Structure 1
Amino acid sequence: MARARITDDIGIPAVDRAVREAAVRDDVATAVRFTLQLLAERFPGNTVELRVPPFGAIQCIEGPKHTRGTPPNVIETDAETWLALATGTLAWAVAVETASVTASGSRADLTGRLPILRLRD
C-alpha cells in the first residue's frame, strides 16, 4: 500500500518549522518525508536510492532500474543535512566534501536537482 501524499499545506509549514525553529520530531519527520516526496515526484525513477534515516527513503532519477539487493547508487544523510540541501541552505558539493552526505555509485549525484523547495524569508 502506498504512503499517503503529504499535501503542500501540511508539508511546507513543517519544513519551515524544521529549519527555522527548534522543531519537534514530528515536524522534522514530516519535513523530511515531504521533501523526499517532492524530489521523487520531480525526478521519478529507480536508479538512485536516497536514505534519510530514520524518517524515509525514496528511489528517484531515471536510468537503469534496480530490483534486488543493495542498490548500486545510494545517497545517505541525516535529517538536518537533508533539509539544508532540500531548501538550498547547503550546497551539494559542500555536503559531499565535508562528508555530511555519503554518495556511492556513478549516478549518486543530486547536482542540479537541489534545492527542491525554497522557503520565503
Structure 2
Amino acid sequence: MNALKKYLTVNYLFSLTSGLVMLVLSGYLDQLFGIANVYVFPVIGINLLGFAAFVFFVAKWKLSHKGLVYLISALDGLWVLGSLLILVLDPFELTMVGNTLIGAVAVWIGFLGYMQYRSYES
C-alpha cells in the first residue's frame, strides 16, 4: 500500500470511528465537553460519516485524482482552523477536557492532511 492510500485509509477510519462515537455517545460527550445543545455531536457525527465515505471512495477508486486528494487535505485544514478558532476564541466555554480533546484531534487531523498532501506530491 502506498503512503497516500495509507494516510487516506487512516483518515476515513478515524472519521468513521469519530462519527459513530459522536452519534452513539452524544449524551456522554455533551457532559464531557460541557455542551447544553444536544444536537451538536449528532450533527457533527453525521457529517463525519459522510466525509469518511468520501475519503473511502477516493482511497479506493480515485487515488490518482489530484483535485480530490487536495480537497480532502483542504477540508482537513479547515477542520484544524475551526478547531483553533474554538480554542482561541472560546465561544462555547467548553470544559478543559473538551478543549484538550479538540486540540489533540486538530493536531492529528493536521498531520493526516499534511501527510496526504505530501504523499501525493512524492
TM-score by length of 1: 0.31
Greater share of helix: 2
Q: Which has the higher contact order (CA 8 A, sep 6+)?
A: 2
Greater share of strand: 1
Larger-gyration structure (1/2)? 2
